[in-house]
Amino acid sequence: MALRPIGLAVVAAAMATPILWLPEIAVGRDGVALFSQYLGMTALIAMATSQLIATRWLGVEQVFGPLDQSYRLHKWLGLWALVASFLHDTIDAEMRGLGRETALVEAAETAGEISLYGLLILVAITVATFIPYHLWKWTHRFIGVFFVLSAIHYLFILKPFSNGDPLGLYMGLICLIGLVAYAYTSAPRRFRPSRAYTATSITEEGNALAVELSPVGRPIKHRAGQFAFISFPGVGMHEPHPFTISMAPNKDGHIRMSIAPLGDYTVRLMSRIVEGAEARVEGPFGDFGIARGPQVWVAAGIGVTPFAAMAQALGPDDGPVTMIYCVRDRSKAAHLAELERAAADKSNLTLTLRETGSEGRLDADVVASIAGDLKKSTVLYCGPAALRDVLASGLGKHGVSARRFRYELFEIRTGIGMKKLLKYLTERGAPERISKLMSKTAG
Ligand SMILES: Cc1cc2nc3c(=O)[nH]c(=O)nc-3n(C[C@H](O)[C@H](O)[C@H](O)COP(=O)(O)OP(=O)(O)OC[C@H]3O[C@@H](n4cnc5c(N)ncnc54)[C@H](O)[C@@H]3O)c2cc1C
C-alpha cells in the first residue's frame, strides 16, 4: 500500500554514495563549487532512478512498492531533479585550473542548460494536472531526451575527477542505467513483456463494459485486487491503459476488465471492442487485496472492480466483510447482481448499496452507521479521490488509524497537492491576509 522503506533506502544510498569520494576531491578546491557539482550528481541519480521506475520491470514493485506508489516516487524524484539542477545552475560550479574550455566542453555546458529548461517545462506540465493526459503523455516522453542531455553535460564538462576515477565510474554506471531504462521505455511496445489474450465475452454492466478475456498461451498470475495494463491492438487500440482485473484467479486463466467510459480512449474502446478481439496484457501490478480480520470495503462507482474480484476470492476464514457499494442509482451499478449473489452465498460478506442520488452522499459517519464499530476494522476504499479525502479525514474519529485505511485510486498521474494546499490556505484566510499586507505595504 505504501512505498517500501527499502526503495527509499536505495534512493538515499545512491544519492549519498558520491559523498564517499568528495572529501578527497575537496582538498585544495572550492567547496561551494564542489557542493554545486554534488547537487548536479543527485539530479542525475534522481533522473536515472525515475527512468528505472518507468520501465515497470519485475523488480520495481519489489524494491519501491506497488506501482501506484512507485509512480509517486517517480514524480518526486523528477521534482528533486529539477530543484537540484536549478540549484546546481544557480550556485557557481566552475573550478579554476581544471583544463582548457574546448568546443566539447562548451557543448556540454549548453546541453546542461537545455536540459534544465526542458525539465522545468516538463515538470510544470506534469504538476498541472488540468492539462489533458494525452497531451501530458506526449510531452513526458521528452524527459528521457533531457536525461540524455544531462548525461552528456556530466560526462564532458570539466570536473575535478575523471570519468575513469571511482566516482566517475559510479556516475557513469548511473548514466548507463538511466539510458538503458529510457531506451527500453521508448522502444516499440512489442519488446515489452506482455501476454496475448482474446476477448471472449462483452457484457454491459451498469455504465461499464465487462470484457472477459481468455489466454492464448500462458496466462498472467494475479491476486484478487490487482491491476494490469491492457491494449487491444486487434481493434486499433494500441496504447496500454491500466484496469483492475475484476475477476478472481481461476484455473482457466480467464481474466475480466470492467471498463467505464471515463475519457477519450475508453469511450473509443467501448465502441470498437468486439468478441474475438486480440488483447495484450502486461502485469499484474499493485497490492490492493483482501486484508486480515474484520474489514469494511467501500466501493464508489467503477471503483467496484477490485472488490468484485475480492468478493469472488473471499474464503470462509477471511473477514468478516461489510461492503458498502456507493453509486448514483442502482441502474449504474456494475456487477451488482454478482455481488448480491456472493453476499447471499458467503456468510462472512454483507452488502449494502448506497444510492447517493436518493440517499445522499457517503461519509465516515454513514460508513460507521452501516458497518457498526470500526475500531478493529480495516477500511478498504476504491473510487474517486474526493471521497477518499472525505473518508480519510472522518474515519479517525471512529477509531480507524491511517494504517488501517487503505485505498486504490484509479490515477497514476498525480499532482503535488497544489489544490489541497490552495484549499488549506484559503480556509485559513491566506488571500485576505495577503491583500491586507499588500495594502499596508502600499500605504
Ligand atoms: C490502478 C488503476 C486501476 C484502474 N482500474 C480501472 C477499472 O477497473 N475500470 C475502469 O474503468 N478504469 C480503471 N482505471 C482508470 C482507467 O485507467 C482510466 O479511466 C483510463 O485509462 C482513462 O483513459 P482515457 O484516455 O479514456 O481518459 P483520459 O481522460 O484521457 O484519462 C483520464 C485519466 O486516466 C489516466 N490514464 C489515461 N491514460 C492512461 C494510460 N495510458 N496509462 C495510465 N493512466 C492513464 C490518467 O490518470 C488520466 O488523467 C484504473 C486506473 C488505475 C491507475
| Parent domain of 165 | 5-187
Residue segments in the chain with a per-residue pLDDT below the cut of 50? none
How far, in Å, from the CA of 263 to the mean position of ligand 1?
Answer: 8
Task: Determine phi and psi for 340, rounding to 5 degrees.
Answer: -65, -40
Please name the residue whose Cα sits nearest to atom 1 of ligand 1. Answer: 410
266 CA to middle of ligand 1, Å?
8
Q: What's the pLDDT at 187?
A: 87
Check residue 181 and give its pLDDT: 95
Q: Name residue 91's amino acid.
A: I
Do residues 211 and 110 both lie within one domain?
A: no
Say which amino acid occupies 364: A
| Closest CA relative to residue 343, chosen from 310, 370, 369 | 310
Q: Are strands 227-232 and 278-285 parallel, antiparallel or unpaired?
A: antiparallel
Lining residues, ligand 1, CB within 6 Å: 68, 133-134, 227, 239, 241-244, 258-260, 262-266, 286, 302, 305, 410-413
Q: Is 62 helix (H, G, I), strand (E, B) or coil?
A: helix
Question: Are 216 and 311 in a shared domain?
Answer: no
Q: DSSP string covering 376-417, please?
A: TPEEEEES-HHHHHHHHHHGGGGT--GGGEEEE-S-SS---S
Same domain, 90 and 156: yes
Q: Report if residue 435 sits inside a domain.
A: no
Name the 3-class secondary structure at 244: strand
Tell me how many domains the chain contains: 3
Shared domain for 242 and 204, answered yes or no, is yes
- Pocket probe mutation, ligand 1, options 243, 281, 406, 414, max atoms within 8 Å of Cβ: 243
* Sheet strands side by side (includes 195-205): 237-244, 227-232, 278-285, 195-205, 208-215, 255-259
Domain co-membership, 112 together with 173 = yes
**Same domain flag for 196 and 163:** no
127, 156, 187 - which closes a domain: 187
Q: Which residues contact 296 (CB under 8 A, 6 or more apart)?
A: 321, 322, 323, 324, 367, 371, 374, 377, 378, 379, 380
Centre of ligand 1 from the C-alpha of residue 258, in Å: 12
Residue identifier of the C-alpha nearest atom 45 of ligand 1: 241
Ligand 1 atom at shortest distance from the alpha carbon of 239 = 41
* Ligand 1 centroid from CA 32, angstroms: 45
Q: Which of 285, 305, 322 is the last residue in one of the domains?
A: 285
Give the CATH number of the domain where residue 268 resides. 2.40.30.10
C-alpha cell at 221: 498470475
Q: What are the E-state strand segments in 79-224?
A: 195-205, 208-215
- On whether both 181 and 196 belong to a single domain, the answer is no
Closest-CA residue to 281 (of 242, 246, 248, 307): 242
Q: Let me know if residue 437 belongs to a domain.
A: no
Indicate whether 52 and 182 sit together in one domain.
yes
129 lies in some domain = yes
- C-alpha 46/C-alpha 306 separation (Å) is 33
Q: Which atom of ligand 1 is nearest to the CA of 242?
A: 17
The rounded Å distance from CA 385 to ligand 1 centre is 13
Residue 442 located in a structural domain: no
- Our mutation pick for probing the ligand 1 site, out of 71, 194, 238, 241, counting the most ligand atoms within 8 A of Cβ, is 241
The answer on 196 and 183 residing in a single domain is no
The number of the ligand 1 atom at minimal distance from the alpha carbon of 259 is 11
Q: pLDDT tens-digit profile of 234-290?
A: 899 988 999 999 999 999 999 999 999 988 889 999 889 999 999 999 989 998 999
Answer whether residue 59 is part of any domain: yes
Give the pairing type, strands 208-215 and 195-205: antiparallel
* pLDDT at residue 383, rounded to an integer: 93
Instruction: At 159, give phi and psi (nearest 5°).
Output: -145, 165
Ligand 1 atom at shortest distance from the alpha carbon of 257: 8
pLDDT digits (tens, 9 = 90+) for 218-250: 999 999 999 999 999 989 998 899 999 999 999
CA distance 128 to 75: 13
Inside any domain, residue 205: yes
CATH number at 10 reads: 1.20.120
Tell me, yes or no, whether 231 lies in a domain: yes
Quick one: 377 and 345 in the same domain? yes
Q: What is the pLDDT of residue 304?
A: 96
Mutate to test the pocket of ligand 1, among 265, 305, 332, 388 (most ligand atoms within 8 A of CB): 265
Which helix (H) or strand (E) segment is 296 a member of?
Answer: strand 295-300
CA–CA distance, 373 with 87 (Å, rounded to integer): 51
Cα distance between residue 315 and residue 290, in whole Å: 10
For residues 326 and 167, give the distance between their C-alpha atoms in angstroms, rounded to a whole number. Answer: 56
Q: Report if residue 39 sits inside a domain.
A: yes
240 CA to centre of ligand 1 in angstroms? 10
Same domain? For 321 and 222 the reply is no
Nearest residue (by CA) to ligand 1, atom 49, is: 133
Give the CATH number, domain containing residue 355.
Answer: 3.40.50.80
Asked whether residue 49 falls in the same domain as residue 174, the answer is yes
